[in-house]
Amino acid sequence: MRHAAVLTGLLGATMVASLVAAVGPSVPRAEAGQAGAAAGRLRVVEYRGVRVPVPAGWEVHWLDRDPTRCVRFDRHAIYLGRPGPQPDCPARAVGRTEALHVAPVDAGPDARQRRTRALRPDRLARYTVPRDPDHEALLRLPEAGVRIHGTYGADPAELERVLRGTLLTPAWARAHRARGPGAAAADPPPDDFVPSLLDELLPWLQPSTPEPTVPRTDQPRPRKPRAHKPRPHKPRGHKPRGHKPRKRWVRGKGFDTCTAPSLAAMAAWRRSYKVANMYIGGAARACAQPNLNRSWVRNVRRMGYRLIPTYVGLQAPCTRYQQRFAPEDAAEEGRLAARDAVRRARALGIPRRNPVYFDMEVYDHRRAWCSDAVLNFLHNWTRTMRRLGYVPGFYSSAGSGIRDVGSARGMSKPKAVWFAHWDGRTDPYDCPYMPRHWWPPHNRIKQYRGGHRETHGGVTINIDSNMVDGRVY
């Protein structure tokens, strides 16, 4: 009873409840009656300064031990650590469910905040998962040395329960100070057992004596003023002599895979391919994107690649995916998806007048009510993308989404299409579901082969194969 009284007095009932929920038997049921009874022993994993309760049936993967593991959000799992440079991801994965990725923070603004932000063990006890268009929650916890990326399917309740039971602990911070700021993180523990937190939390909560500050004696050397050089005036629209703007369309071989490959892998594949897809966001984007950022986009384009920006948002109401839009919400969801896709494209440095393709996976087009909802969604996606200055694109199965949109009347149609028809033929205009006058030259991409492995330059990736005569970035 003494432990429960001490904990309750120092930390409060909310914190004790979190401890009981996360640690289980470390605080006996009878002793924690004031904060709530523990429901048996729970499995808990510890990484750096966080301890995460593992729901029944969830997998746990240590990425430091398994660097080729693909971080996927379409299955219940907790991923701990930093992914390897080239994870072994599938060519295609769609959909999201409840999952967590706990990654280290070793540099940048988050790491610098570690010294100034006080550690509060129950910081997440009342956390509310936001209703995000991408069905995800991003938490930065510099005082624990981590950031957490959580995803959910249709309802964030289970993800919220896991995050509220997650505790921040001082153990890693103390070890980090002892090793020094440049030291690498310690290896993860060999098992998932978590001892009592009492001995760790009590000394951490005691007031600490601030370290004396030593005045700096070295003063920065004064800089010499830079001579001002007038810049020559260039009329608006001026382009350097010999500059040839890139065409907004391209012909050639392309590939797509679930996660953006490393820059080294992209360089190794450059002789074999000139176009690559990248999944820039969306509620049904299944794979994590540790490599994808503005710098990746810039460097890959410098290699000579052209890119297919793709947004994997809510799916048709008659599919198996959890992320579906209701028929009555189709118009509004189409507009919301377009606005979020443009926000994502801008964050990656993709300017206006470039395409973004919406990925609408195969659905049962024989259900008229479902096809009507898809057409309503895409009509509003298209109009909003145009209004925001981007080229509306559309990916789907040739036999469902492409056929429905191509034969529809009275709707705004996407300017460019990317269709799946796995017949092994590379001609984008050879498809029984698409007359040649639908989306004429330079507006088509054909995905002619599904998931398979290829090796180029010594690097193997699981991809889908495409032949491009269409709009790209």
Give the pLDDT confidence of 87-113 residue by residue, as tens digits.
999 998 999 999 999 999 875 555 555
> Picking from 31-40, 117-126, 345-354, which range would have the lowest pLDDT averaged per residue?
31-40
Cα Rg for the chain, rounded, in angstroms? 26
> Picking from 33-37, 148-152, 308-312, which range would have the lowest pLDDT averaged per residue?
33-37
- pTM > 0.85: yes or no: no
pLDDT band, residue 247 (cuts 50/70/90): confident
Residue 244 has pLDDT above 70, yes or no: no
Residue 217 has pLDDT above 50, yes or no: no
pLDDT band, residue 177 (cuts 50/70/90): low
Nearest C-alpha neighbor of 472 from the set 267, 277, 191: 277
How many alpha carbons fall within 13 Å on the CB side of residue 216?
Answer: 3
The answer to whether 29 touches 41, Cβ cutoff 8 Å, is no
Residue 140's H or E segment, with its range, is strand 136-141
Q: What is the mean pLDDT of residues 168-186?
A: 61
In the prediction, which pLDDT does 69 show? 95
Structure tokens at 292: 């994808």
In the prediction, which pLDDT does 193 show? 36
Residue 471 has pLDDT above 60, yes or no: yes
Q: What is the mean pLDDT of residues 201-210?
A: 40
Query: How far is 11 from 19, CA to CA, in rounded Å?
Result: 10
In the prediction, which pLDDT does 109 show? 54
Structure tokens at 361: 């996976």
Share of the chain above pLDDT 90, in %: 66
Q: Which of 3-12, 50-59, 110-119 has the highest mean pLDDT?
A: 50-59
Report strand pairing: 355-359 vs 391-397: parallel
Letter string b/e over residues 329-347, b meaning 16 or more CB atoms within 10 A of that residue's CB: bbbebbbbbbbbbbebbee
Give the pLDDT confidence of 32-52 residue by residue, as tens digits.
344 333 444 578 999 999 999
Residue 382 has pLDDT above 60, yes or no: yes
Nearest C-alpha neighbor of 126 from the set 47, 17, 42, 52: 17
Share of the chain above pLDDT 70, in %: 74
Question: DSSP assignment of 365-387, as one string?
Answer: TT-HHHHHHHHHHHHHHHHHHHH
In the prediction, which pLDDT does 42 show? 73
In the prediction, which pLDDT does 270 show? 96
pLDDT band, residue 133 (cuts 50/70/90): confident
Residue 230 has pLDDT above 60, yes or no: no
**Residue 216 class from Cβ within 10 Å (0-12 exposed, 13-18 middle, 19+ buried)?**
exposed
Residue that wins the pLDDT comparison between 413 and 196: 413
In the prediction, which pLDDT does 456 show? 97
Query: How far is 143 from 173, CA to CA, in rounded Å?
Result: 7
Q: What is the mean pLDDT of residues 172-194?
A: 50
Query: How far is 381 from 376, CA to CA, in rounded Å?
Result: 9
Q: What is the mean pLDDT of residues 275-282?
A: 97
Number of neighbours of residue 205 by Cβ within 10 angstroms: 14
pLDDT band, residue 172 (cuts 50/70/90): confident
Q: What is the mean pLDDT of residues 309-315?
A: 97
In the prediction, which pLDDT does 38 show? 41
In the prediction, which pLDDT does 229 show? 53
pLDDT band, residue 440 (cuts 50/70/90): confident
C-alpha distance from residue 413 to each of 245, 311, 386 (Å): 27, 17, 11
In the prediction, which pLDDT does 95 show? 93
Residue 257 has pLDDT above 90, yes or no: yes
Residue 363 has pLDDT above 90, yes or no: yes
Provide the mean pLDDT of the chain: 82
